[in-house]
């Protein structure tokens, strides 16, 4: 549970007004976080593709970076032309968004939608944005008066689309967390949602200030995901970066990638696959070490670990810090969260077929990065992770990827 100072929850019956005005469906509940700080914080939206969409189109819907979407879903972002990939309808994804504070409430304020022929406020809210907003909220946010949720919106109308998000100070029960907005599906229960996101029903109820475990389709709740926190100074543009366990984030103008887990919850950053000569130096000063490199030295007191880590992004400059710490034992090579190949429409149909390939149990599939000291473990690669391919195992991995996605 987030600390009380940042967890003023309000349960609002968002559709209350509409219930009197027009024959809208049953009232939905949503968890809102009140706020006063003007700084945005990182949040995730749980979103299921309503149609086959190019990654670039999906990214445009949410004003998000296509690579950041892949990274947040542990999907390989080093593939050629990722933004042109077509993602299949029905694919569940996590979309990383800045969660702003506006009118005293946390919400996504960066999303604009240009309506297409046949759109209605109801279809935009429920279908295009998967229930992460409501027709009334869109209407109120755009100063549209007495428009029927089911009336056609003029094609080409540019709408501000507010979406639910929360941060609760980036902690849950004292542990770093990133909050994912989830729209309850028909038949879904609180224990099932808790299981899907590896949390507990009690925690979900407490975070969402629920007196009972009753939820209905269309309710919006927030789910805390265990994460790695950053400690970048406040003048950095990526201050407050928080990466959910098992996933990646892209930062510093696509020059740096950071990951969290699976072995520990220390944020680990290395040069991104797209990093090129336009990126500022990623070498720690007074050292030959690059971002992500580390050296190990056995001393009588234990293992002295010196690492070159990422310290945030300021005005085009990548900050690095060289730190030395003493550990009882030398850590092995760094393990990265497993990366999946991008799913595509045809793959998805294959998966929906009679019997999906069983999940291979590959614990440390991702490539590993060694420090600079000799280590006694087997040979490891030291390139950045997302260039790794498993050519012979594409179908199995595919199933793994989709199963993993569906299990969230
Ligand atoms: C992080 O995720 C890994 C799987 O990716 C899991 O084994 C581990 O328990 C998780 N850690 C925490 C603290 O939740
Ligand atoms: C580099 O190391 C030298 C000597 O060890 C020290 O005098 C200097 O201040 C260091 N420079 C930086 C930028 O840390
Ligand atoms: C970034 O650059 C601008 C203009 O060059 C400068 O005013 C500002 O102080 C810089 N910010 C930081 C944190 O260095
Ligand atoms: C140090 O980091 C760079 C950038 O990730 C990498 O290319 C290099 O292989 C690393 N060196 C060692 C010895 O791990």
pLDDT in tens, 391-408: 333 334 333 333 344 333
pLDDT reported for residue 18: 33
User: In terms of domains, do 180 and 291 share one?
Assistant: no
User: In terms of domains, do 202 and 276 share one?
Assistant: no
Ligand 1: nearest atom to the Cα of 175: 13
> Tens digit of pLDDT for each residue in 247-300?
999 999 999 999 998 989 999 999 999 889 999 999 999 899 999 999 999 988
User: In terms of domains, do 97 and 212 share one?
Assistant: yes
Strands 92-102 and 41-48, by their bridges, are antiparallel
pLDDT reported for residue 26: 52
Classify residue 312: in a domain, yes or no. Answer: yes
> Is the dihedral angle over the CA atoms 105, 107, 113, 117 positive or is it negative?
negative
376 three-state secondary structure: coil
222/132 Cα distance (integer angstroms): 11
User: In terms of domains, do 95 and 203 share one?
Assistant: yes
Which residue has a Cα nearest atom 8 of ligand 2? Answer: 286
User: In terms of domains, do 335 and 251 share one?
Assistant: yes
Ligand 2 and 285: CB distance under 6 A: yes
Helix or strand run (H / E) with residue 228: strand 220-229
> For the residues 373-381, what does the mean pLDDT come to?
35
> Tens digit of pLDDT for each residue in 304-354?
999 999 999 999 999 999 999 999 988 888 999 999 998 876 544 444 443
> Is the dihedral angle over the CA atoms 122, 110, 63, 243 positive or is it negative?
negative
Q: What are phi and psi of 40, to 5 degrees?
A: -80, 155
Q: Percentage of the chain surpassing pLDDT 90?
A: 66
Closest ligand (CA of 286): 2
pLDDT reported for residue 407: 39
User: In terms of domains, do 321 and 256 share one?
Assistant: yes
pLDDT at 361 over 80: no
Classify residue 185: in a domain, yes or no. Answer: yes
Classify residue 15: in a domain, yes or no. Answer: no
Q: Percentage of the chain surpassing pLDDT 70?
A: 78
Which residue has a Cα nearest atom 11 of ligand 4? Answer: 293
Domain limits for position 263: 236-342
Ligand 4 and 88: CB distance under 6 A: no
User: In terms of domains, do 101 and 201 share one?
Assistant: yes
User: In terms of domains, do 243 and 311 share one?
Assistant: yes
| Boundary residue ending a domain (342, 370, 397) | 342
Classify residue 357: in a domain, yes or no. Answer: no
> For the residues 92-106, what does the mean pLDDT come to?
95
Ligand 1 and 246: CB distance under 6 A: yes
Ligand 2: nearest atom to the Cα of 285: 13
User: In terms of domains, do 264 and 319 share one?
Assistant: yes
> For the residues 226-244, what does the mean pLDDT come to?
95
Of 98, 94, 107, 132, the closest CA to residue 32 belongs to: 107
Which residue has a Cα nearest atom 3 of ligand 1? Answer: 262
Average pLDDT of the chain?
82
Number of domains in the chain: 2
Classify residue 265: in a domain, yes or no. Answer: yes
pLDDT reported for residue 52: 93
pLDDT reported for residue 21: 36
Q: What is the CA radius of gyration of the chain?
A: 22
> Tens digit of pLDDT for each residue in 158-171?
999 999 999 999 99
**C-alpha 228 to ligand 4 mean position (Å):** 22
> For the residues 155-184, what does the mean pLDDT come to?
95
pLDDT reported for residue 345: 60
Ligand 1: nearest atom to the Cα of 337: 5
Closest ligand (CA of 322): 2
**C-alpha 261 to ligand 1 mean position (Å):** 7
pLDDT reported for residue 37: 80
> For the residues 71-100, what does the mean pLDDT come to?
94
DSSP state of 34: B
* 8 Å CB contact between 130 and 47: yes
pLDDT at 375 over 50: no
In angstroms, the Cα distances linking 251 to 78, 83, 100, 232, 254 are 14, 17, 18, 12, 5
**C-alpha 72 to ligand 3 mean position (Å):** 29
pLDDT reported for residue 400: 38
Classify residue 400: in a domain, yes or no. Answer: no
> Tens digit of pLDDT for each residue in 19-77?
333 334 457 888 989 999 878 999 999 999 999 999 999 999 999 999 999 999 999 99
Classify residue 99: in a domain, yes or no. Answer: yes
pLDDT at 8 over 70: no
| Boundary residue ending a domain (229, 244, 275) | 229
pLDDT reported for residue 301: 87
Classify residue 152: in a domain, yes or no. Answer: no
User: In terms of domains, do 189 and 54 share one?
Assistant: yes
| Boundary residue ending a domain (206, 229, 252) | 229
User: In terms of domains, do 196 and 240 share one?
Assistant: no
Ligand 2 and 287: CB distance under 6 A: no
**C-alpha 322 to ligand 1 mean position (Å):** 27
Ligand 3: nearest atom to the Cα of 235: 13
275/277 Cα distance (integer angstroms): 7
User: In terms of domains, do 261 and 327 share one?
Assistant: yes
Q: What are phi and psi of 324, to 5 degrees?
A: -125, 130
On the 0-12 / 13-18 / 19+ scale of CB atoms within 10 A, 343 is buried
């Amino acid at each position: 549970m987030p600390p009380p100072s940042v967890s003023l929850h309000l349960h609002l019956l968002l559709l209350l007004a509409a219930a009197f005005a027009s024959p809208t469906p049953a009232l939905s509940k949503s968890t809102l976080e009140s706020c006063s700080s003007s700084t945005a914080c990182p949040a995730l939206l749980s979103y299921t593709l309503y149609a086959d969409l190019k990654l670039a189109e999906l990214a445009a819907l949410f004003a998000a970076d296509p690579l950041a979407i892949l990274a947040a879903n542990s999907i390989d972002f080093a593939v050629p032309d990722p933004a042109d990939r077509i993602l299949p309808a029905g694919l569940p994804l996590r979309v990383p968004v800045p969660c702003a504070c506006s009118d005293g409430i946390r919400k996504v304020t960066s999303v604009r939608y240009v309506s297409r022929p046949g759109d209605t406020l109801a279809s935009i809210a429920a279908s295009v944005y998967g229930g992460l907003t409501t027709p009334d909220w869109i209407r109120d946010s755009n100063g549209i008066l007495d428009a029927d949720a089911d009336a056609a919106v003029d094609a080409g109308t540019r709408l501000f689309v507010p979406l639910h998000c929360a941060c609760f100070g980036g902690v849950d029960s004292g542990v770093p967390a990133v909050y994912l907005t989830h729209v309850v599906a028909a038949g879904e229960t609180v224990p099932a949602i808790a299981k899907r996101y590896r949390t507990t029903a009690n925690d979900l109820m407490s975070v969402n200030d629920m007196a009972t475990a009753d939820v209905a389709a269309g309710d919006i709740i927030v789910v805390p995901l265990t994460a790695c926190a950053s400690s970048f100074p406040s003048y950095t543009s990526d201050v407050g970066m928080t990466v959910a366990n098992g996933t990646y984030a892209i930062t510093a103008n696509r020059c740096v990638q950071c990951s969290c887990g699976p072995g520990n919850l220390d944020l680990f950053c290395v040069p991104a696959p797209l990093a090129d000569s336009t990126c500022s130096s990623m070498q720690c000063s007074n050292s030959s070490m690059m971002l992500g490199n580390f050296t190990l030295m056995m001393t009588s007191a234990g293992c002295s670990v010196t690492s070159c880590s990422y310290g945030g992004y300021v005005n085009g400059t990548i900050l690095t810090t060289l730190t030395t710490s003493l550990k009882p034992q030398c850590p092995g090579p760094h393990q990265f969260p497993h990366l999946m190949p991008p799913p595509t429409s045809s793959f998805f149909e294959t998966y929906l077929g009679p019997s999906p390939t069983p999940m291979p149990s590959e614990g440390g599939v991702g490539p590993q990065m060694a420090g600079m000291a000799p280590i006694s473990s087997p040979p490891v690669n030291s390139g950045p992770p997302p260039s790794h391919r498993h050519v012979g195992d594409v179908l199995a991995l595919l199933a793994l990827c989709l199963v993993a996605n569906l299990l969230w």
